Chain A
Amino acid sequence: MKYIKRSIIAILAAGISFGFAEQLDVEKDELKFGFIKLTDCAPIVIAKEKGFFDDEGLSVSVIAQPNWKTLLDNVINGELDGAHMLSGQPIAATIGFGTKAHIITAFTMDLNGNGITVSNGIWEQMQENDEALDTERPAHPITADALVPVVEEKLEEGEKLQMGMVFPVSTHNYELRYWLAASGIHPGMYTETDKGGRTDAQVELSVTPPPMMPAVLEAGNIQGYCVGEPWNQQAVAKGIGVPVTTNYDVWKNNPEKVFGVSASWAEENPNTHLAVVKALIRAGKWLDETDASGTLVNRIEAARILSRPDYVGADFDVIKNSMTGFFYFQKTDKRPMPDFNVFYKYHCTYPWYSDGIWFLTQMRRWGQITESKPASWYHETAKEVYKPDVYLTAAKMLLEEGNIDKSDIPWNTDGYKPATSEFIDGITYDGRDPIGYLNSHDIGNKDSLESLASLN
C-alpha cells in the first residue's frame, strides 16, 4: 500500500514538473476489461466508444462475463485487467468472504439503478392487501408492508416466498434485505455454517445471474427479484412482473457499481491505472451532460451504443427507458426518474470510504462477517479498498487539461459523506459511526459496545 502511495506522489511530482498536457506513460496499453450485461456498465463502454481510452493511449477490449463470480475470478487470475464490479465485491474479496484476494477501487461507476420486481400474482395479492396500491399509478415509495400478509400466508402453508438477487455481496442482496426488513420481514441470516443466508428466513433469497432473472421469474422458481437495468423494464415489457420499487426509494442516491482492479495489478501499473480512471471520469461526465433545461443530452446515444449485441444487447427501446430518465412501473405507469442512473452528479464517481463502510455494516448485519469488529476495523478496511488518492490524482490531471470543472470533484473531503436519513425507514446512516448504525436496526446482528470493548 505504501508503495502505491509513494508511486502516486512520485507521479504527481513528475506531473508537476513536466506539465500535464502530456499523455501518461502507461505500463500496459492493451487492456481487457470485463463487464456484466447491465446498463450501469456504461462508463466503461462509453470510455471505449467515445474514444476516452484512445485519448489516454489505451487500446481496450470490453468483454462480457457470464456472472459475477467468473468476473471476479478472471480479475484475480489476471485474465482481465479490471472490471465493472458490485460495490461489495472488492470489499468481500479483500476481507476474505468468498474468494480471498486484495481488490481495490479508485472509481465509483454510478448511483442507483436497481429495482425490485415481483411477479404479477404477488402484485395482485399486494393490491388486495392494500387498497391504495390498486390503482394505475399507486403512490411511491411502496414499502413491503403489503407483502407481509402474503409472506405469512405462505408460511402457514409451510412454504417460503422465494426471491432472487444477483450475488451474495451485491448491492441488490442488501437492498432487498433492507426493503424486506424495513417492513419486519426477516430475510434470513448468514452464519458460519449457512453460507446461503437462509437461517431464520421468512423469505428465502437465492442467487441468479441478472440476465436470467426474467426467465426464472417466468418459470415460477422465484416470485420476485432485485436486479439492475434493463432486467426490470424487461419484465414490464414482457408482461411477466411489476417493479414495485427502485433502490432510489430504498436509499436515495446509494452507491452501486465500482471499477475494481487487483491490488497487485495497480501496483505494477500505476500510470495505467491513472489513465483508466481519467478516461472513466470523462465517460461519467459525458453520460451526465445536460442541456440548459436539465435534459440528459447524451443518453439516447449511450442507449444506442449499449444496445449493441457485444455490450448489453437488450432492445434499444427497453434500455432507453431508464437511461433517459424514465421508468415503467407498469405498462400504463411511466414516470420520470431523472436520477435513476447517476454517473457523475453529486460527486458520485469519488470512491467514498463511507460507501465502503455501509457495505461492511450490511455484511455484519446479515452475518456475512461472523464476529463483532470494532469501529476502527471498519474504517481501516474501507481505506484498504477505496483509493481516493488515485482518483484525485487523475481528477487533477483532467482539471489541468481542462476536461472537467473544479466544482465537479470534492477536493478537500475526508472521504465521508455527510450523515443521511434518506432511507425507506428513515434511519440515519453516518459512516463515521458504523457500530451505532448497526445497532439502530431491529432485524439483524447488533454489536454491543461492551463486547467490542473487550476486543480492544
Chain B
Amino acid sequence: MKYKILKALDVAGLQFLDPVVRLICGEEPKVQLSKIGRFIVVPVIAFVVFLWAWGYVAPKHATKSGEVPTPSVVANAADGIWIFHKRENVKSRDYLLQGERKNTSLKKAQERLVIVLEEEKKASSLVTEAQGALSERIAQLQEPHKRELEELKALNKSVSQERKTALSNLAESVSEDSVGEKEAYLEALRDHNRLSDQEKESEKLISAKIDEIAGMKYQPLIDARFELKLVAEEKQFLQKRIEYLSKNNRSEKVAEYEAKLGEYKATLASATGKELERTGSRILRQEERIERVADSSYAQPWTFPRQIKRSLMCVFFGFILASMIAIPIGILCGLSSVFMAAMTPFIALFKPVSPIVWLPIALIVVGGFIPDPDKHWFIGAINSIPIIGAYDLNPAFIASAITVALCSLWPTLVNTALGVASIDRDHINVARVLRLGFWSRLFKIVIPSALPLIFAGLRISLGVGWMVLIAAELLSSSEGIGKFVWDMFNNGSSDSFAQMFVVVFVVGLIGMILDRTMIVFQRLVSFDEAPTSI
C-alpha cells in the first residue's frame, strides 16, 4: 500500500508529499521530519515572507497611475471578479426559471432589495459625511499654507515692484555713450529676472504643498465609497434580477405571446377573405416568434472564469495543431538527414519569430478564408459541437490558436527529431534482423523509443503556448484571459492594478497545473525511470 502511494506520488510529480506518507507509516521519523522541513515548511515560509514583504513595500510605492495593491486589495479584486461572475450566472439562470421556483426566487430577491435600498441610503449618507469631514480637514490643513502663500505673494510683489522702480530709475540715469553703465544696467536686469524666477519658484513650492493636501488620501472616505459601490452594485443586480424573474422571464414572454396567439386564433375562426389572409400570416409569424423565444437564452457577458475556460480551449486547439505538425515532421527529420538538412533553414528562420508578428498574419489569412463568419460552414460546424459551441468560436479564436501553434511547435519538432535520431543502434539492428517494414519499424521501434523526448518537447511547447496565448488574445481581442487583461487595463479604474495581479496568479497557477500534467504524461511513457526536472 505504502509503496503504491509513493509510486503514484512519484509519477504525479508530487514528491514533496513523499516524506509525509513515510512519516505516517512511521518510517525513520527524524529523516522524514527534516525532509518535510526542507520541502514543505521552507517553501511555505518563503511564500509567507513574500506576502509580508509585498504588503509592506506596496503602500510605500505610489505612482500617479495608481498605487501598488497590497495582498488584501488583490484579494478584494479577486472577490469582485468572482461576484460579477456569480451574478451573471444567476441572471442567466433566472431568465430560464419558471413556475414555483421562479416565484420563490422573485420573492427572495424583492425582500433582499428592500434591505439593500435601506443600506444604500445609509452608505450614501456615510459618504456625504466622510466627504464633509475630508473637505473640512483639507481646508484646515491648507489654511496656514494659504495664508503663507498670500503673504509671500504680497511680499514678492512689493519687492519686485521696488526692483522695477529701481531699474527704471537706473535706466533713466544711464548716459547715452557709456558702455559700462549699459552693461551694468543689463546686469541689473538679469539679476531682477533671476530673482523673479526664484520668487516664483518659492511660490510654486507652497502651491504644490496646497495641491498635495487637496489630493490627500482619506481612508474613511475610501472605505465609505467602497461600501456604497458594493451596495449600489447589488441594488442594480437585484433590480435586473427581478426583471428577469418577472416580465422579462422566458416563460412569461412565451405565455404573453401565446395569449396573443390565442386571440389571433379566435379571430381566425370568424375571419374571411382579406381578414383571413392577414390573420393567417399573423398566426404563422407569432408561432415563429414563440419558437424563437422558447429556446432563447440570456445574453451573458463574458466573465473571467468563462474567459479562462475559453483560453484553455484555445491553447489546446493550438497545442494539438502544433503537435500534429511538429511530430510527423520531427520524425522525418530524425529518420532522414537529408530531410533534416532541408528543414534546418526553416526551423532556424521561423523559430525566433514573435507571436505579435504571427497574429496579424494569421488574422488576415483566417479572415480571407472566412469572410462571413456567421454563414461559414466551418464556424457553424465547430459551434454546433455541444460543449465547445457554448464558447462562440470565431475567426479571432482560430487565429489565436494558429498563432499559439506557430510559436509552440518548435520545441516538439526539435525534440522529436533528436529523439528519433538518437535511437539505440541495437534497436535498429534488431529491426533489420527481423526485416520489419517501414510502418512497423516506425510504430514498434522508432516512436516508442523517442517518446520520452517527444513528451519533453510537448511539455515545453505547452508552456510556450500558454505564454504566447495571452499576448495573442490581447491583440486579436478574442475573448479570453488576454482580452480580460486588456479590458481591465483600459478601464483605468482604481481596481485595474489589483485585477492585473489577480491575473498574474491565475495565469501562473494554470501554467503550473498544465506543466505538472505534462510531467505525469512524460513519466508514464518513460520506461527508464529517468528523473524529470522540476
Shortest distance between the CB of A256 and any CB in chain B (Å): 20
Cross-chain contact A239 with B215 (CB below 8 angstroms)? yes
Cross-chain contact A29 with B301 (CB below 8 angstroms)? no
CB-CB contacts of A136-153 with B at 8 A, as 1s and 0s? Answer: 000000000000000000
Residues of B close to A315: CB separation below 8 A? 493-494
Cross-chain contact A79 with B84 (CB below 8 angstroms)? no
Residues of A close to B302: CB separation below 8 A? 63, 310
Cross-chain contact B296 with A78 (CB below 8 angstroms)? no
Residues of B close to A317: CB separation below 8 A? 225
Shortest distance between the CB of A115 and any CB in chain B (Å): 16
Q: Kindly identify which residue among A30, A64, A331 contacts B215, using a CB–CB cutoff of 8 Å.
A: A331
Known: A54-B248, A79-B394, A211-B491. A240 touches B64 (CB 8 A): yes
How far is A232 from B209 in the complex, measured between Cα atoms in Å? 24
Known: A78-B374, A309-B491, A313-B488. A59 touches B240 (CB 8 A): no
Residues of B close to A60: CB separation below 8 A? 299
The reply to whether the CB of A447 lies closer than 8 angstroms to some CB of chain B is: no
How far is A231 from B65 in the complex, measured between Cα atoms in Å? 13
Residue ID in chain B nearest A64 by CB atoms: B487
The reply to whether the CB of B174 lies closer than 8 angstroms to some CB of chain A is: no
Cross-chain contact B477 with A313 (CB below 8 angstroms)? no
The reply to whether the CB of A305 lies closer than 8 angstroms to some CB of chain B is: yes
The reply to whether the CB of B490 lies closer than 8 angstroms to some CB of chain A is: yes
Residue ID in chain A nearest B475 by CB atoms: A66
Known: A51-B248, A64-B487, A317-B225. A78 touches B373 (CB 8 A): yes
Interface of chain B: mostly helix, strand, loop or mixed: helix
The reply to whether the CB of B214 lies closer than 8 angstroms to some CB of chain A is: yes
Known: A29-B296, A61-B299, A70-B477. A309 touches B64 (CB 8 A): no
The reply to whether the CB of B391 lies closer than 8 angstroms to some CB of chain A is: no
Q: Kindly identify which residue among B214, B232, B285, B495 contacts A331, using a CB–CB cutoff of 8 Å.
A: B214
Cross-chain contact B490 with A57 (CB below 8 angstroms)? no
The reply to whether the CB of A322 lies closer than 8 angstroms to some CB of chain B is: no
Residues of B close to A25: CB separation below 8 A? 285, 289
The reply to whether the CB of A361 lies closer than 8 angstroms to some CB of chain B is: no
Shortest distance between the CB of B234 and any CB in chain A (Å): 11
How far is A44 from B494 in the complex, measured between Cα atoms in Å? 25
Shortest distance between the CB of A255 and any CB in chain B (Å): 25
Q: Which of B231-246 contact A (CB under 8 A)?
A: 232-233, 236, 240, 243
Say which size band chain A's interface belongs to: 35 or more
Cross-chain contact A312 with B491 (CB below 8 angstroms)? yes
The reply to whether the CB of B305 lies closer than 8 angstroms to some CB of chain A is: no
How far is A14 from B491 in the complex, measured between Cα atoms in Å? 45
Cross-chain contact B490 with A218 (CB below 8 angstroms)? no
The reply to whether the CB of A304 lies closer than 8 angstroms to some CB of chain B is: yes
Residues of B close to A230: CB separation below 8 A? 492
How far is A315 from B228 in the complex, measured between Cα atoms in Å? 13
Q: What number of B residues sit within 8 Å (CB to CB) of A?
A: 49
CB-CB contacts of B267-309 with A at 8 A, as 1s and 0s? Answer: 0000000000010001001000100110011111110000000
CB-CB contacts of B496-507 with A at 8 A, as 1s and 0s? Answer: 000100000000
The reply to whether the CB of A437 lies closer than 8 angstroms to some CB of chain B is: no
The reply to whether the CB of A433 lies closer than 8 angstroms to some CB of chain B is: no
Known: A62-B301, A70-B477. A234 touches B64 (CB 8 A): no
Known: A49-B240, A309-B487. A65 touches B248 (CB 8 A): no
How far is A70 from B395 in the complex, measured between Cα atoms in Å? 13
CB-CB contacts of A21-52 with B at 8 A, as 1s and 0s? Answer: 00101000110000001000000000011010
CB-CB contacts of B197-234 with A at 8 A, as 1s and 0s? Answer: 00000000000000100110000000001000100110
How far is A77 from B232 in the complex, measured between Cα atoms in Å? 38
Residues of B close to A314: CB separation below 8 A? 491-493
The reply to whether the CB of A2 lies closer than 8 angstroms to some CB of chain B is: no
How far is A313 from B499 in the complex, measured between Cα atoms in Å? 12
Known: A78-B372, A304-B236. A65 touches B477 (CB 8 A): yes
Cross-chain contact B374 with A30 (CB below 8 angstroms)? no
CB-CB contacts of A299-342 with B at 8 A, as 1s and 0s? Answer: 00100110111101111111000000000000110000000000
Residue ID in chain B nearest A37 by CB atoms: B490
Residues of A close to B65: CB separation below 8 A? 214-215, 218, 238
Cross-chain contact A234 with B492 (CB below 8 angstroms)? yes
Known: A66-B486, A77-B372. A211 touches B492 (CB 8 A): yes
Shortest distance between the CB of B432 and any CB in chain A (Å): 57
Residues of A close to B486: CB separation below 8 A? 66
Cross-chain contact A313 with B298 (CB below 8 angstroms)? no
The reply to whether the CB of B448 lies closer than 8 angstroms to some CB of chain A is: no
Residues of B close to A30: CB separation below 8 A? 296, 299
How far is A70 from B475 in the complex, measured between Cα atoms in Å? 10
Residues of B close to A70: CB separation below 8 A? 477
Known: A30-B296, A313-B487. A214 touches B492 (CB 8 A): yes
Residue ID in chain A nearest B232 by CB atoms: A304
Known: A64-B487, A315-B494, A332-B214. A57 touches B289 (CB 8 A): yes
The reply to whether the CB of B511 lies closer than 8 angstroms to some CB of chain A is: no
Cross-chain contact B493 with A307 (CB below 8 angstroms)? yes
Cross-chain contact B477 with A57 (CB below 8 angstroms)? no
The reply to whether the CB of B71 lies closer than 8 angstroms to some CB of chain A is: no
How far is A92 from B235 in the complex, measured between Cα atoms in Å? 42
Residues of B close to A79: CB separation below 8 A? 373, 394-396
Give 15 CB contacts A-B under 8 Å: A18-B278, A23-B289, A37-B490, A48-B299, A49-B240, A57-B293, A77-B367, A212-B490, A305-B236, A309-B84, A309-B491, A310-B301, A312-B491, A313-B490, A318-B493
| 4 other A-B residue contacts (CB within 8 Å) besides A49-B236, A304-B233, A310-B487 | A37-B487, A51-B243, A77-B367, A209-B490
Interface residues of chain A, those whose CB is within 8 Å of chain B, are 17-18, 23, 25, 29-30, 37, 48-49, 51, 54, 57, 59-66, 70, 77-79, 209, 211-212, 214-215, 218, 230-231, 234, 238-240, 301, 304-305, 307-310, 312-318, 331-332
- Closest CB pairs A-B (n = 3): A313-B491, A211-B490, A61-B299
